[in-house]
Amino acid sequence: MCFSTNLWDVVSCMNNRFFKLLVVLELSIFGCSDSSQHSSGSSGNQANGGTNTAGQLAQGGSSSGDAGSVTGGTTAGSGTAQANGGANTSQDGSSSGDTGSVTGGTTAGNGTSEGGATGGSGPTAGVVSTGGTLTESGGSTAGAAASAGSSGTSGISASNRPMGFASVSALGIENTTGGAGGKLVNADTAEALLAYMDSEEALIIMISGTIDLEGMVPLRSNKTLIGLSNARLINGGLELYKRQNIIIRNIAFADGTDDTMKINQNTHHVWVDHCDFSNSADGLFDITRQSSYITISWNHFYNHSKTMLIGHSDSESEDAGHLKTTIHNNWFDGTEQRHPRVRFGEVHVFNNYFLNNRLYGVASTMEADVVMEGNYFDNVPYPSYSGYQESGPGDLVERNNVYHKSGSPQIRGTAFDPQTYYDYVVDDPELVPDFIRNGAGVGVIDPVAASG
């Protein structure tokens, strides 16, 4: 009814009611039905990032390396909201049943809600979202996490943040970020590369092709070195002397003239990830003279004897309390010794693959503290020593390692607890050979995404 003392209001009301009546009659005549969000049907209309019953990925769902969750949107009517797959978790963007979670969306009307599966038993190298763009935290800005949410080789691999000691806030640095925030430059000649590495400014240096270093060359602070496809540095090595905040990824190093990677003299916060190391005149990788807060991850070491030395000599007692190093998910492939050999320092060795190491795996000497866990030793006659040759013994704790066709480890003391410094997850060591073979070394990460 139209009630008003104003004649114009009464006319307007009557016109509106007449128009609505015409709309109802037209709908009745032509049989049109409302297909809005509240209709029911077998396919279920998609709303606000949810999915229909056909199981399509929700466009609004996202995977985050920091938060580690994927949340489905809301559907209407009888549609079903379903979140597929495990979530990326923690700093490394990995898939983990402990912290990763997937939450199904809610529905309206008669719809049902079904939560996706958690990451389950996937190792920290869980599969990265195939639909999204890699971010600094190793997550995804678009597509949902991979539907399996289980084991793989790309979760940690694609992370742009280190795990372990390189992630610890200390000595004025909150985290190892390399050249983040600086210019991105390209180097395909020795001249260009050496100029960029010697620059005082923060830089992200993209390396391409084979570059002959012609000896040991310096690398200054606040740099990220990333190899593009087939990037190789030969006939030399990198020396980090009193430097800090450096990232080196996806580069093959070969035929070093001294130590291929030399980190010394109070250098700190260095992350070396997804590189190949082979053939050197001395060691492949040395960390000495009070350097600290270093992570060595997902590298492939091969064709050499003296692999990794941490601690210069038995007389360098000033190294006590320094040399804090995390060594995880590396492949020591037929290298003979020093994986690593440690003096004085605190070193965490986990989820590495030791294969055919003829002399020994790990040595803790001169009261070093070494924790060795979740590793797979395959045909290694002496997995670990406490003390070696002229060097006195160090503490060495071992737990949850696999010794396949290998000897028994030497252990001593109580070492230290890595969790007092950082959070980490040790994957099932039985799975280590497979995901290390597929995930360690060059050619695994996306260098363009890693540069961001």
Q: Which residues are known to be catalytic? A: 338
Contact 127, 95 (CB under 8 A): yes
- The owner of tokens 């990451």 is 119
Residue-level length of the chain: 452
Contact 314, 366 (CB under 8 A): yes
Question: In terms of Cα–Cα distance, which of 421, 332, 418 is closest to 375?
Answer: 332
- The owner of tokens 């070394």 is 441
Contact 426, 400 (CB under 8 A): yes
Task: State the Cα–Cα distance between residues 162 and 52, nearest whole angstrom.
Answer: 38
Question: In terms of Cα–Cα distance, which of 231, 250, 162 is closest to 193?
Answer: 231
